[in-house]
Structure 1
Amino acid sequence: MGKTKERRLLKPDWQENHVYLVQFPRIKMIPSPSPYCLKLETWLRIADISYSNISNEFKHYSPKGQVPFIELNGRVFSDSNDIIDYLKKEAKNPDQRLSPQDNAHAEAIHALIENSIHWIYMYSRNRDAKWFFGPTGFGPHARGLKGTLMKIFGKMQMSKKIKAKVMANGIGKNTPAEVMQFAKDQLRALSVLLGDKDYFFGDIPTTVDATAFGHLAQLVYTPQFDPEVKKYMEQCTPNLVSFVERIKGRFWPDWHNATENLSLDSNWRR
């Protein structure tokens, strides 16, 4: 479990049993271009766990070098999956009703999303990451000399990291046509698993729904290497698009405030 003590907490005056979610600042396209930040925040909402957001200000990372991370009762917990597993045991578990077979299916769906579908938009970001620091990305947070340097060197650093990841995975060595076929295959498989259900295990959302939303929203709301990706989703896997809209409508009523005003306010039920 990724938990450690930090020399200095970002929230030293913490409240007991209150989650402090440290994540990247908001952008205008989507509450977070990080699928893991969006997944974890959506999961906290599904699980109905009280939390407060803290911006990492592009400089605060967990002891493992990760974002998101949480501070809870004076400790730091890293890795979105580890955080969710810990909170399911110590706080609330939206997966309680799932059978052992359901849990096995959830693991398979989780793997399809995070080990396959994830690489579709990572391939896109490897080909073009300029929007990350543009006006609809992190650009509004980059002001003055520091902001100018962040736009220049931040983009270079991010592009370098993304390229290293997609090349190590192998997808970066493929042609756009090959990746498009890969995308169709993976999205079709996920669409079949969802079927005509509101959520992957019926009418009540679980952890895997937060995972799916965190990643699928990146495909729907951020630029892709080929417009055909979104067109394919709309025409051939419309249930996935409806799923994203359903989660957004139910658990992100503050979407406009988060994206237009770049608000990290966590009082989403108001």
Structure 2
Amino acid sequence: MASEVSQTPVTENKVAEEAAATAATKPEITATEAVAVKENNAESNGADTANAQEKGDDTKASAGEDTKKDGDNATAAAAANSKTEPAPKFNVHKTNFEKDVIYLYQFSRTPLLPSLSPYCLKVETWLRLAGLKYENVDHKMRFRSKKGQLPFIELNGEEIADSAIIIKELSARYEKNLDAALTTEQRNVSYAMIAMLENHLIWIIFYWRAKYPDNVLKGYKVNLQHALGLRWPNSILNFVFKFTFGRKWFQGSKKLKAHGIGVHSPEEIEEFGKNDLKVLSEMLDCKPFFFGDEPTTLDVVAFAILSQLHYLSKDISYPLRDFMTEKCPNLVGHVSRMKERCFPDWDEICTKLDLNAHIPKPEPETKEGKEGEPEKSNEQENDSDKNEKEMEKDKSNEKEITEENKEKEETK
């Protein structure tokens, strides 16, 4: 409203009235002079109004420029923030992972076998044949995949579960297809044989383990304190193992019956296993591996399952293992060849129960001083300095004592 009032033109009558009022209040000023003063004031008010308008326009223009600058600054700041956004959080157990390193989660080692799980041994064997960089995570069997399985891997912040899917994904990513040289017919045979091994023979072994959990601990010499990372007495751990392994893990006979193998008698199940071994033995024949001189995926799966039989302690009676040893010696030879090919550190693994025996351990640094002598550590240097200082103090004290004695003798 104030700006609107200041822009209204001043009339002559109003000027005259204001001049008369001025003259009445100030007699020393004439009416003519008062009129002149009012006119001058009116002109100055008009000029001020024009200046105010110009200043308003300038202010609006500058405000527009500031707004534009603020917008540009906000855009630049947003771009800068997008560049400096924090690294994404990965939903994996190994958060400080190294790029392109495969982290394998599996069961703990045993004195007779790298893994009690054929599926875990299958994945590790394949990783070694493919020559990929991997590391076992010592999780003491506490973790499971989102599918509730072992094994599973973590790669660059991503979890991959199930042994078949792991091998399929890694084969595609790293172009490490062990079956690349096979014909279509050989691949079909391989697929059928793997299905027999993983969906039939392996369940026959699981049936025996579920029925005789004591023999599992004794047959593979399992140390549950080491495997689980617990300090409980082995007697308690063995009891818990029998309950969880025989009942909860396999849900007793329900899971075995749901598969179909559990509805048969022990004699029938044993016969099924012998037939599977006989088919494998006839297919292998005299070849080093199932399809020639180089191992394929079928060799990996067969080794992972057959080793569960072959490396069971002789102190434990198991007819299926004895049948393979006596009637299928070529399968025993196949297991030995795969072991030598993929696990040259087998003895070290089973002796030290080391999950990562394949990774070179850093040697302790030993620096050499002059003339090839090893340099002393800081603590050793500090100790030697202290000894030297103490010896110097003793020498100075001895000198002082001898000088005092000489002075006494001279005075006498």
In the alignment, the residues of structure 2 paired with residue 243 and residue 269 of structure 1 have an alpha-carbon distance, to the nearest angstrom, of 28
SS for the counterpart of 2:192 is helix
Contact 2:278-2:328 at 8 Å conserved across structures: yes
Task: Report the counterpart of residue 239 of structure 1 in structure 2.
Answer: 330
Alignment of 1:184-199 (within 5 A): 184-199=274-289
Cα distance in 2 for partners of 1:145, 1:263 equals: 21
- After TM superposition, list the pairs within 5 Å mapping 1:131-210 onto structure 2: 131-133=215-217, 136-141=221-226, 142=228, 143-145=230-232, 150-160=237-247, 161-162=249-250, 163=252, 164-210=254-300
The one-letter code matched in structure 2 to 1:58 is M
Whether the 8 Å CA contact 1:53–1:265 is kept in 2: the answer is yes
Contact 1:119 1:171 in 2 (8 A): yes
TM-align CA RMSD:
2.5
Q: CA deviation at 1:34?
A: 0.3
Contact 1:35 1:215 (C-alpha < 8 Å) held by counterparts: yes
Considering fraction of residues, name the structure with more helix: 2
Q: Normalising by structure 2, what TM-score?
A: 0.60
Answer whether contact 2:257 2:263 (CA < 8 A) is retained.
Answer: yes
Name the residue aligned to 1:116. 200
Amino acid aligned to 1:264: L
Greater mean alpha carbon deviation, residues 114-123 or residues 169-178: 169-178
**What displacement does 1:183 show?**
1.5
Distance (Å, rounded) in 2 between the aligned partners of 1:42 and 1:237: 22
| Segment of structure 1 superposing worse, 253-262 or 37-46 | 253-262
The one-character-per-residue Cα deviations of 1:31-78 (angstroms, maximum 9, x if unpaired) are: 101000000000111111111111231211111111110000110000
Q: Contact 1:200–1:208 at 8 Å: present in 2 too?
A: yes
1:23 corresponds, among 102, 106, 116, to 106
Report the counterpart of residue 33 of structure 1 in structure 2.
Answer: 116
**Range with greater deviation from structure 2 (260-269 or 144-153):** 144-153
Amino acid at match of 1:139: L
Match of 1:218 in 2: 308
Gaps of 5+ in 1: none
Within 5 A, what are the aligned runs for 1:121-132? 121-132=205-216
- 2:102·2:153 contact (CA, 8 Å) conserved in 1? yes
| From 314, 321, 343, the counterpart of 1:252 | 343
Other structure's SS at 1:27 match: coil
Larger Rg: 2
Show structure 2 runs of 5+ residues with no match. 1-87, 362-412
Conservation of the 8 A alpha-carbon contact between 2:152 and 2:160: yes
Cα 1:213/1:6, change in 2 over 3 Å = farther
Q: Which runs of 4+ in 1 moved over 4 A?
A: 5-8, 131-135, 146-150, 223-226
TM-fit CA distance, 1:28: 1.4
Check if 1:87 corresponds to 2:87: no
TM (normalized to structure 1)? 0.89
Instruction: Note if contact 2:90-2:157 (Cα within 8 Å) is conserved in structure 1.
Output: no
Q: In 2, are the aligned partners of 1:25 and 1:138 still within 8 Å (CA)?
A: no
For residue 70 of structure 1, give the secondary structure of its aligned residue in structure 2: strand
Cα distance in 1, alignment partners of residues 233 and 318 from structure 2 = 34
Highest relative contact order (Cα 8 Å, sep 6+), 1 or 2? Answer: 1
Q: Return the offset for 1:165.
A: 2.8
Measured in 2, the distance between the counterparts of 1:232 and 1:131 equals 18
Structure 1 letter corresponding to 2:94: K
Flag the 1:77–1:266 CA change in 2: closer, same or farther, 3 A: farther
- DSSP 3-state at the match of 2:137: strand
State whether residues 225 and 232 of structure 2, in contact with CA within 8 Å, keep that contact through their aligned partners in structure 1.
no
1:104 to 185, 188, 209: 188
**Equivalent pair of 1:19/1:70 in contact (CA under 8 Å):** yes
What is the rounded CA distance, in whole Å, between the counterparts of 2:142 and 2:292 in structure 1?
A: 40
Distance 2:89 2:132 in 1: 23
Are the counterparts in 1 of residues 345 and 357 from structure 2 also a CA contact under 8 Å? no
* Aligned mate of 1:58, from 141, 147, 159: 141
Q: Which residue of 2 is the match for residue 70 of structure 1?
A: 153
Instruction: Note closer, same or farther for the CA distance 1:148–1:230 as it changes in structure 2 (3 Å cut).
Output: closer
